[in-house]
Structure formats: C-alpha cells, structure tokens
Chains A and B, each alone.
Chain A
Amino acid sequence: MHDAIRLETSGIPTAVLVTTVFLHEAKVQREALGMTAIEPVVVTHPLSTLSNEQLDERAAEALEQVVHAWGGK
C-alpha cells in the first residue's frame, strides 16, 4: 500500500491488488497513511498455490476493478 500511495501522490493512478484475507489490513494501512480514497482491487485468496487456469479466473475477477481504479469507465 505504501508504494501505491507514493505513486498516487506522484500523480500516477495506481491499481493495487489485494486478496480477500488482506483487505482489512489494506484498509487499515490506507487510513494510517492518510489516503482513504484509494480502493484496492480485491481478488479471492489465495494466489500462491494456484494453477495457470485458476490465475486466469483471478485475473477475470480483477479486470473491471482495475479499469475503475485507473479512472476508466
């Protein structure tokens, strides 16, 4: 979250991926860092044990959220 917030304050729209179990931590971090408006892109946990096919499914979960985070419609 620190990296994303530093990039945002540098003027770069940043989509930050987080899995479901880390969403609470991400929200706590964004509040502690002062950027409550940043909305994480949330995908189902976990990632580390997934096959390529399962990663495709996770990517599909994220696509519209990433576009939204970047400011696209």
Chain B
Amino acid sequence: MIYDPRGTIDAPVLHLAKRPANLRGLRIGVLDNTKWNGWKLEDRIATTLAQRLSLGPIKRYKKESFSRDARPELLAQIAAESDLVLTGIGD
C-alpha cells in the first residue's frame, strides 16, 4: 500500500463578485496590509486610476498585520463603504 502524503484540496467553489458595467464614479477602498511600501504602491495605483477613469472617492483602511486576516468588522465596513477594493499580499 502506498500513501500519497500530499493530500488533496476539496474546497467548495466560490464565485467572483459581479463586475460593474462601468467603473466611473465608483468608490475605491484601499486596504493596507502593513507590508513595507505596500501602501505607497496601492496609493499610487488608486490615485492614478481615480484620475484617469473618473472613479469615485478613495478611502484607505489598514489591517492589523500582514500575517493575519483582516478583522471581520473591518471587512464588513470596507464592503459597506466601497464599490471596488485594492489590496495586497506578499512583499
């Protein structure tokens, strides 16, 4: 008998959110994951796209640590106050 130690992943399939027909005027939420320079990059991207595409206001949020998931309350707040979100993982 041979066992494969790698195992398998059997997660339920989750679907992407519905995409908007037009980005114009949509509110942007930027979630800082606390990695060094991460927020600077996110800020550049969000402000550039807001100008180019006439997006709505940008609101910035910060999680406690890049090594942890954002608190559910924070994610709920972001979802309530944003139409689109930009965040990051990794260095």
Q: A residues near B, CB below 8 A?
A: 1-19, 21-22, 25-26, 31-38, 40, 43, 45-50, 52, 55-56, 58-59, 62-63, 66-67, 70-72
Other CB < 8 Å A-B pairs besides A6-B70, A46-B91, 11 of them? A2-B69, A3-B75, A4-B87, A4-B89, A7-B75, A7-B87, A9-B15, A10-B17, A22-B89, A47-B37, A72-B23
Q: How distant is A72 from chain B, measured CB to nearest CB, in Å?
A: 5
Q: Which residues of A contact B76 (CB under 8 A)?
A: 10
Query: Do A13 and B17 touch across chains, with their CB atoms under 8 A apart?
Result: yes
Q: Is B2 an interface residue (CB 8 A)?
A: no
Residue on B with the closest CB to A71?
B19
Residue on B with the closest CB to A66?
B45
Contact of A17 among B12, B20, B89 (CB under 8 A): B89
Interface string of B2-45 (1 = CB under 8 A from A): 00000001011111111110010000010101011110111011
Query: Do B12 and A47 touch across chains, with their CB atoms under 8 A apart?
Result: no
CA distance A67 to B76 in the complex (A): 23
Residue on A with the closest CB to B52?
A63
CA distance A31 to B53 in the complex (A): 32
CA distance A5 to B84 in the complex (A): 13
Residue on A with the closest CB to B20?
A71
Given A11-B79, A34-B13, A16 and B38 touching (CB < 8 A)?
A: no
